[in-house]
Amino acid sequence: MGARSAGDVVVAGLKRLEYRGYDSAGVAVPVEDRIEWRKKAGKIVHLEDEIAVRPLPETGTAIGHTRWATHGAPTDANSHPHVAGRIAVVHNGIIENFASLRAEFDVEFASETDSEVAAHLLNREVAGGATLVEAMRAVAPRLEGAFTLVAIDALEPGRIVAARRNSPLVLGQGEGEYFLASDVAAFIEFTRDAVELGQDQIVELTTDGFTVTDFDGQPAEYTQFHVDWDLSAAEKQGFDWFMRKEIFEQPRAVADTLLGRQNHHGELVLDELHIRPEELRRVNKIVIIACGTAYYAGFVAKYAIEHWVRIPCEVELASEFRYRDPIVDAQTLVVAISQSGETADTLMAIRHAREQGSKVIAICNTNGATIPRESDAVLYTHAGPEIGVASTKGFTTQLVACYLLGLYLAQVRGMKYGDEIAAIIAELEGMPSFIQRMLDRAEDVYALADELKERPSMLFLGRHAGYPAALEGALKLKELAYIHAEGFAAGELKHGPIALISQDLPVFVVVPPAGRDQLRDKVIANIAEVRARGAHTIVLAEERDEQARANADTFWPLPHVSTLLQPLVAIIPLQLFACEMATRMGHDVDQPRNLAKSVTVE
C-alpha cells in the first residue's frame, strides 16, 4: 500500500460504501504472525471510535467490510471480518450450504453468520500446508450460493486472495498498490484504473502485482477499464440517482431473494420461519398489514395466496388496522410487510394482532429491526440497502417473498403438488432475465417521459394482479413528480372514473395475459373506451398481443409470464417513467419533498 496505512485506506473505502450496508463494520490486518481486528455494530463512525481508542498496527495489507445483515443480527460478534486461526475473511453474499459445512467442525463458532464457516474452511487448508491461494481454490468450489470472499493469512502478510461467484468484485490498479472492492467507489480516491473480475475467478494480490485464475487454477481472462466518473457518481455506479441505480439492481435483488429457498429434494424451505407446520395448517384466515408500497405488494400477495392456498386473505392498511376492531384470533396468520422493519403503523398493528393470539410473520429487508424482533417469524428479502426514499427493489423483493410464502403455505397444507410448486419457482427464477429485458428498453420509457412532462394528471388502470401494479405506478408518480396520478381497477371505469377522461389525458393500462377468465378481453375493451374519448393510451401488454398494440398510442411490450407474476415485470417501466419524469421536472428524485424513508411515528 506504499506509504499509506492500509487500515486507514480500508476505513476510508468503507465510508464510501456505507450506502451498500451500514449495520456494522470491521477491519483486519496481519501483523507479527497473528491477525489484529476491530469491528463494531452500527455505522462506521462506531468503528472509527473503536480504532481511535485501540489503534490498529500500521501495515501494508488490510481487509474490511461494511455489513447489511442476512444471517445473524447486527452485533459485534456477527460483524466482519471473521477470524479462524491465522485466517481473516470478509464476505458479501449468501452461502446456502453453510449449515452442512459448519457440521464438519467440532468447534464453537463465534458468530451466527454463514460467513464464518469460510474462515474455518480456509484455516483448515492452510494449517494442512496449503498456501492461501491454494486454500481458496479448495474452498470456493464447495460453497453454494452467491459470494465474494476476501481473505488474508497472518503468515503471508503481503498477500490478499479473493474469490467471486454471483457477487461483484472489482480490482483497482494504483502505483505500487492494489485494491479490491465490491465497486469502484471504495478506491476511486486513489486510482481510476480498474479490472472487472469474471464469474468463478480467484484473484491474488501481492506487492509484485496480481494474478487472476479460475477455480481450477488456470489463467483466466479479465476486463480492464478506466473510470471516468467523479467520486459522487462512483457511489451511484455512474447513475444520476440512487433510485435509478436501485431500479437497475432489481434483477440481482430478485435473484438474491430466491437464493437458498429449496432443499436437495426440491422442497421449498424457508429457514427463517420458526412456526411449526402444524400451526400453519390450523390457520383459517390470513391478514396482510402494510403501508404504502408494501401495501400494494400485499395486495398482489392476496391474489396469489388465495389462488394457491385456498383460504381467505385480507389486505389491511396498517394505519387503520387496530382502530377498526379487527377480527383476528389464534387461527389467524398475520403477515406484516415493511422494508425498513421500523414502520410505526405496522409495528403497532402487529402488537395488536399478537395480543389477540395471532401468529405474525414479518417480511422485511432489515435484519435485526424492531418488526422482525417482535414477530413470531421473519422472511427476509435480500434487496440490500435502498437509499432512494421511493421504494423500487424493496417492492419487487417483497413480491418475491410473498410468492415464496404463499407457495410454502400451499406446500405445508397440501394444496399443491411438488411439481406444481417447482414449476412456479422455476418461473420465478427466470424473472431476473425478464426484468433485465424491461430495463434494456429504458430509453423508450425516457422518451415518453420527455413527451408527457407537462401533463398535469395521469391515470393508471389494471385488473387482477395488474391492479396493484397500477396503484403502485400511480404512487411512484405522485411521490416523485408531484403530479396528480390515480390508479383504478379497470372494471370500475364505467362506475365513475371514466368522467375524468379528457383529450390527451395519459392513461397507463396494465393488460393481463390472455387466458385468465377473459380478463384480457375486458381490459382491451376498457382501452378502446378511453381512447374513444381522446385519452393518450400507454399500454403494457405481452409483446405478442397485437390487439393490445393496435389500441395503444404508446405500447410497452412485456414478456410472457403468468398473470400472478406479471407485476414483477409490469412495474419496471412504471418505476423508470416516474424517475425520469421527476428528473426532467428538476426534482430531487432520491429525497422527494415531505417524505422520509422510514415512517417511525403513527
DSSP per-residue string spanning 523-584:
HHHHHHHHHHTT-EEEEEEETT-HHHHHT-SEEEEE----GGGTHHHHHHHHHHHHHHHHHH
Distance CA 599, CA 597 (A): 7
Write down the pLDDT at residue 2: 45
Write down the pLDDT at residue 342: 81
Write down the pLDDT at residue 93: 86
Residue 105's alpha-carbon distances to 35, 86, 90, 116, 139, in angstroms, are 21, 16, 20, 12, 14
- Residue range 284-311: average pLDDT? 96
- Residue range 134-139: average pLDDT? 97
Closest CA to 421 of 397, 396, 398, 403: 403
Write down the pLDDT at residue 1: 43
- Residue range 554-561: average pLDDT? 96
Residue 447's alpha-carbon distances to 450, 477, 571, in angstroms, are 5, 16, 17
- Residue range 542-548: average pLDDT? 94
- Residue range 364-385: average pLDDT? 84
- Residue range 70-75: average pLDDT? 82
- Residue found under cell 405488494: 297
Residue 337's alpha-carbon distances to 209, 234, 350, in angstroms, are 48, 32, 10
Distance CA 189, CA 235 (A): 11
Write down the pLDDT at residue 485: 95
Q: Which amino acid is at 305?
A: I
What's the longest Cα–Cα distance across the chain? 80
- Residue range 489-517: average pLDDT? 90
What is the DSSP code string of 219-238?
A: B---EEEE----HHHHHTTT
- Statement: residue 426 has pLDDT above 90: yes
Whether the full predicted model's pTM is greater than 0.95, yes or no, is no
- Using a 10 angstrom Cβ sphere, with 0-12 exposed, 13-18 middle and 19 or more buried, the burial of residue 42 is middle
- Statement: residue 193 has pLDDT above 80: yes
- Statement: residue 395 has pLDDT above 60: yes
Distance CA 118, CA 82 (A): 9
- Residue range 489-493: average pLDDT? 91
Sheet holding 24-31, edge to edge: 34-41, 24-31, 63-67
- Residue range 495-513: average pLDDT? 94
- Statement: residue 324 has pLDDT above 90: no
Sign (positive/negative) of CA torsion 135, 18, 58, 175? positive
Q: Of 52-66, 187-201, 214-228, 428-442, which one has max mean pLDDT?
A: 428-442
Write down the pLDDT at residue 81: 96
Which band of pLDDT confidence, cut at 50, 70 and 90, is reported for residue 40? Answer: very high
Distance CA 194, CA 304 (A): 45
- Statement: residue 214 has pLDDT above 50: yes
- Residue range 271-296: average pLDDT? 91
Q: What percent of the chain clears pLDDT 70, i.e. is strictly above it? A: 96
Distance CA 298, CA 304 (A): 10
Sheet holding 82-84, edge to edge: 82-84, 87-95, 145-153, 159-165, 201-206, 209-214
> For 95-118, what is each residue's pLDDT tens digit?
989 999 999 999 999 999 999 999
Question: Quick check: 8 and 353 in contact, CB under 8 A?
Answer: no
What is the average pLDDT value for the chain, to the nearest integer? 91
- Residue range 490-501: average pLDDT? 90
Sign (positive/negative) of CA torsion 270, 273, 277, 282? negative
- Residue found under cell 417447482: 422
Q: For every residue of 70-108, which 3-state class applies, written as one string?
A: CCCCCCCCCCCCEEECCEEEEEEEEECCHHHHHCCCCCC
Write down the pLDDT at residue 599: 63
CA 254 from centre of chain: 6
> For 433-456, what is each residue's pLDDT tens digit?
999 999 999 999 999 999 999 899
Q: Does an H or E element contain 244, and which?
A: helix 242-248
Across the strands, what pairs with 540? 510, 556
- Statement: residue 182 has pLDDT above 50: yes
- Statement: residue 152 has pLDDT above 70: yes
- Statement: residue 566 has pLDDT above 90: yes
Q: Name the least confident of 227-241, 260-274, 553-567.
A: 227-241
- Residue range 61-83: average pLDDT? 89
Q: Locate 71 and state its grid cell.
A: 444471517
For the CA atoms of the chain, what is the radius of gyration?
25
Distance CA 363, CA 513 (A): 28
Question: Quick check: 309 and 415 in contact, CB under 8 A?
Answer: yes
- Statement: residue 68 has pLDDT above 60: yes
Backbone angles phi and psi of 146, in degrees to 5: -120, 130
- Residue found under cell 488456470: 218
Closest CA to 452 of 570, 551, 581, 583: 581
Across the strands, what pairs with 44? none
Write down the pLDDT at residue 185: 79
Which band of pLDDT confidence, cut at 50, 70 and 90, is reported for residue 17? Answer: confident
Domains and CATH numbers, the chain: 6-235 (3.60.20.10), 240-429 (3.40.50.10490), 437-602 (3.40.50.10490)
Backbone angles phi and psi of 498, in degrees to 5: -65, -20
What is the crossing angle of helices 292-309 and 466-481, to 10°?
Answer: 170
- Statement: residue 376 has pLDDT above 70: yes
Q: How many residues does the chain have?
A: 602
